[in-house]
Structure 1
């Protein structure tokens, strides 16, 4: 059977690839990077996208036997994508992402070190950690490193407040991953309740970060005491996240659980927007928000979980 482009795009979860670019762009902006410095942030966004796509391909490559039983319609078990093609995309994508990071700042830079840590977390998660209690936290660490990749041009990766932003972001993704553990079968709420609780804890952390814009490098001189735009975006995202997860808890069907996971993943762009709006103002945040339409529109045709 010939490999189709649509099946490859499904394999790498193309809608989510844009959310990965949003993370690194947000990280760049949060630590004072200029949106006009395309040569500064574009290689970082490219590295994020390549590493994310690689991770998704490796996820299905490592899970082939499980998916043959639980998700036979997916590209690999259905034969729509050859196993060798998935391996090439996965391992080749990791190499491409690392090369993009090296191109951005050099092999001896903090940027390349963060990219190596991100690649290691991706492989560790897919190669076995996903099946353990540490799995959601390993997945969360991938997103935290992804945001730190954007922050890596700043001294000390932006300092403690930037680390807190990345940690809260990673914690949120750990919550999404807890919920996703029930999407294949449904019927139980334990993982859903744990996941939503972790997500809400992370949202509180992101709110705390949003209220401390002056702690970031090169503070925005015109920032308001209370960054209303950023907090409003964060509140609306939290409302959507909690509504989707609560519906799944009330009726833990696979379809509603997948919807809760999809909502959590696509909300990542808006969490990025909220942070950037709070710390750098609404105009830079609009550049991050521009990555949401392709993610949303593609997610209507390609699954994102």
Structure 2
């Protein structure tokens, strides 16, 4: 999907500003926030929240700041790395057109990497796994940047970039917890499988995106793509739909799941239909659909937070509004900056 920039000629400063928005793929930032918040809330299903609400808000702000800067590091590093490729296949982009120098874009990428690490420093004081996850995230970004024009296996580090956001949010929140909540379910398999579901979903998008531009020939492998996109239906709902905990009011977990399932299946099926005529539009829609992957877990999160009495959410029934609002914001921003 191409951005709806003003039809009249832009001034040089305005064009350079829009270039930064395009390089940063800022329309995808809300999906990053949705991933991190989902991991954070899953932690609060199993770990008690600290008494200080202010501390929780600081934790969320640091997590969102670190993940956002890591994402922007990846997008700017990608354009820096692909400058020679873009000269041949995408000469209208910022670096080949001469509006931004390759050195400047590389410098901005480095600044975002430093800021991402800096945001994690306060969170690292209480849990060694947090900086390890941050380092793994940045390493996955670098690996994808190096490999993505060379081999289809680059979809794995790209998927890891998303799959690691759940554990980053989860373990950061867990490290600030005074103790475990009274739950019989082990949270570790939950967050690992959710991360795996996110990994394979984004790997599918990345596989399709390889056919969007450049010298790649052939058609998108649709059977493999369908498997990768729909695997999250299992990884994101099994842990709470299994009946491993008591539901307030005796509500059926399957019934609670139906709206989220319907929204995800409809949006993804519609995106696959659009794939027949436009790979870029499919990728853009499916990137926004990452928030619907998160939404699959939210009925269970809402039920469990009612049990643990999470202080930041007096009405857990409103929780699904978080990923849905992030999705709407992502779609709105796609009209300003391209998603890919």
Same fold judged by TM-score > 0.5?
yes
Deviations 1:108-156 (A, max 9, x none): 6321111111011001110225522321111001101112111113279
1:237 to 2:264 alignment: yes
User: Of residues 192, 199, 203 in structure 2, which corresponds to 1:163?
Assistant: 192
| 1:84 Cα deviation from its structure 2 partner | 1.7
1:266 to 2:292 alignment: no
CA distance 1:13–1:168, shift in 2 (3 Å): same
Given that residues 178 and 194 in structure 1 are in contact (C-alpha distance below 8 angstroms), is that contact kept between their aligned partners in structure 2?
no
| Alpha-carbon distance in structure 2 between the residues aligned to 1:111 and 1:258 | 35
Deviations 1:60-104 (A, max 9, x none): 111111122222222222223221221122122111111111223
Relative to structure 2, which stretch is displaced further, 165-174 or 267-276?
267-276
| 1:30 Cα deviation from its structure 2 partner | 1.2
Q: Which ranges in structure 1 are unaligned for 5 or more consecutive residues?
A: none
| Alpha-carbon distance in structure 1 between the residues aligned to 2:243 and 2:114 | 35
User: Of residues 268, 275, 278 in structure 1, which corresponds to 2:297?
Assistant: 275
SS in 1 for 2:164: helix
Look up the match of 2:232: 202
| 1:209 Cα deviation from its structure 2 partner | 4.5
1:298 to 2:310 alignment: no
SS in 2 for 1:131: coil
Look up the match of 1:181: 210
Look up the match of 1:103: 122
Deviations 1:284-305 (A, max 9, x none): 3323333233222111121001
Given that residues 8 and 81 in structure 1 are in contact (C-alpha distance below 8 angstroms), is that contact kept between their aligned partners in structure 2?
no
Instruction: Show structure 1 runs of 4+ deviating over 4 A.
Output: 33-36, 212-215, 219-223
Look up the match of 2:29: 17
User: Of residues 16, 20, 34 in structure 2, which corresponds to 1:4?
Assistant: 16
| Alpha-carbon distance in structure 2 between the residues aligned to 1:7 and 1:62 | 16
CA distance 1:41–1:223, shift in 2 (3 Å): farther
| 1:273 Cα deviation from its structure 2 partner | 2.4
TM-score by length of 1: 0.87
CA distance 1:147–1:79, shift in 2 (3 Å): farther
| 1:257 Cα deviation from its structure 2 partner | 0.4
SS in 2 for 1:165: helix
| Alpha-carbon distance in structure 2 between the residues aligned to 1:169 and 1:5 | 31
| Alpha-carbon distance in structure 2 between the residues aligned to 1:190 and 1:272 | 25
Larger RCO, structure (CA 8 Å, separation 6 or more): 2
| Alpha-carbon distance in structure 1 between the residues aligned to 2:64 and 2:247 | 23
| Alpha-carbon distance in structure 1 between the residues aligned to 2:217 and 2:317 | 42
TM-score by length of 2: 0.78
Deviations 1:252-295 (A, max 9, x none): xxxx1011101110011122123123322432332333323322
Given that residues 274 and 285 in structure 1 are in contact (C-alpha distance below 8 angstroms), is that contact kept between their aligned partners in structure 2?
no
1:191 to 2:217 alignment: no
Given that residues 273 and 285 in structure 1 are in contact (C-alpha distance below 8 angstroms), is that contact kept between their aligned partners in structure 2?
yes
| Alpha-carbon distance in structure 2 between the residues aligned to 1:63 and 1:238 | 34
Look up the match of 2:324: 289
Q: Which ranges in structure 2 are unaligned for 5 or more consecutive residues?
A: 1-11, 181-185, 303-315
The structure with more helix, counted as a fraction of residues: 1
Deviations 1:41-65 (A, max 9, x none): 2211111111011101111111111
Within 5 A, what are the aligned runs for 1:19-58? 19-32=31-44, 37-58=56-77
1:89 to 2:89 alignment: no
Deviations 1:218-251 (A, max 9, x none): x8756833154444223322222222223323x4
| Alpha-carbon distance in structure 1 between the residues aligned to 2:227 and 2:255 | 25
Look up the match of 2:95: 76
